[in-house]
Structure 1
């Protein structure tokens, strides 16, 4: 319990630091960000929008910096991140709410499948090292060494141009009406297959190699030898003894991957023009959309912290040595 309380305190301090940095960065930028945005829109922004922008960056607030800081914290707690310049006049919270499900659906499922398949193959490869299954390792390593964008472009060229099986870009078919209906959901699934395969192929090697190396190390431990000596079934020893202990480092990596799901696989979403949070962040950076960038960075930070907290809880459940009263 004390272990978890210490971790909670650490994550709370980290979150506070992230929020504080998010508050200070726009105020430390050289020049006038509101003026640069007005120049970009060439005078088409209304006076009320300019007032809102100045309020967002604290430029019309004569109060001390610490008062502005507490006002900023209050707006965050209310979910008020301001207006997006890229999608003006849509609120930032609405933009993120629209893009987040796309990224969680694509990158989340692809990451989960990559972890499950890679860990399972790694268990077999480490337990039966030297067998035919080791032939999978060079192939997986090759795909992991290929840059995301190159692999995505090759996939588009082969499966969308040469053999037009899948669409080259987008999240769903033109003309499809968004909603919880069979036609739209089928279109979303169809358009997500190619980018999902790209993510799986580029990330699965890390799970395979990491689990294989841990299985090789754990297989020589005394408790595995004792389990064999007891006459337990090979599958029981492999899964219940070796794999259970070897998977602990994988959990930490998987937790980080879950956290970065929110950020999306930026390059993959750009290549496939997929309407996820990574593609939205790319547009925000190009447009110098400070409120949207700030909100996305904060959401990514929170997601990573929550994922790491879940990893700590799983460590306590799987490894009794970490439990403290």
Structure 2
């Protein structure tokens, strides 16, 4: 319990620091939302309209400390204000409309790539020195390709040349959003291509990490003892080698799940997918401070919760950490 209390205190301090930085960083950026919005109209606004926009979206006249106190009050009540980029929609409504698209796509892709990558890495590490090692450079090559370029190639080949999948959007135009088969089937069809891009680009990292840990673990004394006792190869591989080799990958997997809310920004932009990544990109362009703060806050809290859960589960998986 003492170690658990220390972890809780550490994560609370980290959350305070992250939320405070979330307040400061947008205010340190040059410019303001009113100027960005006025520039979009390219001088077509009257002087009265410009003055009204500056009054509505201009800089806050309160002191930084007053803004900070008010910001904490809004954070605790879940009120992130009105979005400038999606005016007059509240930030909460914008997040509700986009976050589920990212959770459905990136969470599933993260789990699939982790399972495939660690499974292949376990087998390749167990059969090290055989033909299976040829899988490593192939997956590393795919992972090393710049993400935006790989996504563009996927769009060109499977969307434009072969016409197998849609190349843009989250569902077909005219489809009614809801729990009905036309919408669900359309959403799945539109998600296949970005999902393949994320999975293929992510598998190599999981495979290489698990393979290297398997090779290291197989040299440990307890694995040699298990082999000397005459245990079956499958039991040695799963119960002795893989069980310990997967621990670092499990910690990385928890981190990856934490960043799911952040989405795969480049993928969502290339495929024009209606997720958090596209919203964050548009918010940054419009200098939409409330929306950026809401997004960063959710991402930060999810990452912290995922790490806390990983630390807690790690204690049960590895008894050596219970002494800390």
| Mapped partners of 1:44, 1:116: distance in 2 | 55
The residue aligned with 1:162 is 161
- After TM superposition, list the pairs within 5 Å mapping 1:80-95 onto structure 2: 80-95=79-94
CA distance in 1: counterparts of 2:98 and 2:321, whole angstroms: 38
Number of residue equivalences: 318
Find the aligned partners of 1:305 and 1:45 in 2 and give their Cα distance: 41
CA distance in 2, matches of 1:8, 1:45: 48
Residue aligning to 2:251: 252
Query: For residues 184 and 239 of structure 1, do their structure 2 counterparts lie closer, same or farther at Cα, with a shift above 3 Å needed?
Result: same
1:182 & 1:188 partners in 2: Cα distance?
A: 10
> What is the rounded CA distance, in whole Å, between the counterparts of 1:214 and 1:87 in structure 2?
47
**Shift of residue 320, structure 1, vs aligned partner:** 0.2
Q: Distance in 1 between matches of 2:74 and 2:213?
A: 46
| 1:178 corresponding residue in structure 2 | 177
The structural deviation recorded for 1:37 is 4.7
Please tell me whether residue 20 in structure 1 is matched to residue 20 in structure 2.
yes
Alpha-carbon distance, 1:251 to partner: 1.3
Query: TM-score normalised to the size of structure 2?
Result: 0.92
Q: 1:38 to 1:218 in 2, by over 3 A?
A: closer
Q: How far did 1:108 drift?
A: 0.9
CA gap of 1:46–1:238, structure 2 versus 1, over 3 A, is farther
Q: CA deviation at 1:256?
A: 1.4
Deviations along 1:64-113, whole A, 9 cap, x unmatched? 64444222211111111111111100001111111111111111111110
Distance 2:236 2:37 in 1: 66
How many angstroms apart in 2 are the aligned matches of 1:192 and 1:134?
31
Counterpart for residue 309 of structure 1: 308
Match of 1:105 in 2: 104
Q: How does 1:150-229 map to 2 (within 5 A)?
A: 150-229=149-228
The Cα of 1:214 is off from its aligned counterpart by 0.3
Which shifted more, 270-279 or 289-298? 289-298
Cα 1:202/1:30, change in 2 over 3 Å = closer
Q: Deviations over 1:150-196 (max 9, x none)?
A: 11111111111111110111101111100011111111111100100
Q: Does 1:281 align with 2:277?
A: no
CA–CA distance in 2 between the matches of 1:321 and 1:156? 47
Looking at structure 2, the residues matched to 219 and 158 of structure 1 have their Cα atoms a distance apart, in angstroms, of: 41
Structure 2 unaligned residues grouped into runs of 5+: none
Question: C-alpha deviations, 1:190-217, integer Å up to 9, x for none?
Answer: 1100100000111100000100000000
- SS state at 1:247 partner: helix
TM-score (norm 1): 0.92
Q: Which residue of 2 aligns with 1:6?
A: 6
Q: Is the 8 A contact 1:38 1:45 kept in 2?
A: no
* Structure 2 equivalent of residue 143 of structure 1: 142
Aligned mates of 1:30, 1:167 — CA distance in 2: 38
Moved more, 119-128 or 181-190: 181-190
CA contact (8 A) 1:2 1:324 kept: no
After superposition, the Cα gap between the structure-2 partners of 1:25 and 1:158, relative to the gap in structure 1 and judged at 3 Å, is: closer
Q: CA deviation at 1:310?
A: 1.5
Maintained 8 Å contact 1:152/1:195: yes
Instruction: Report 1:40-59 matches (<5 A).
Output: 40=39, 42=45, 53=57, 59=60
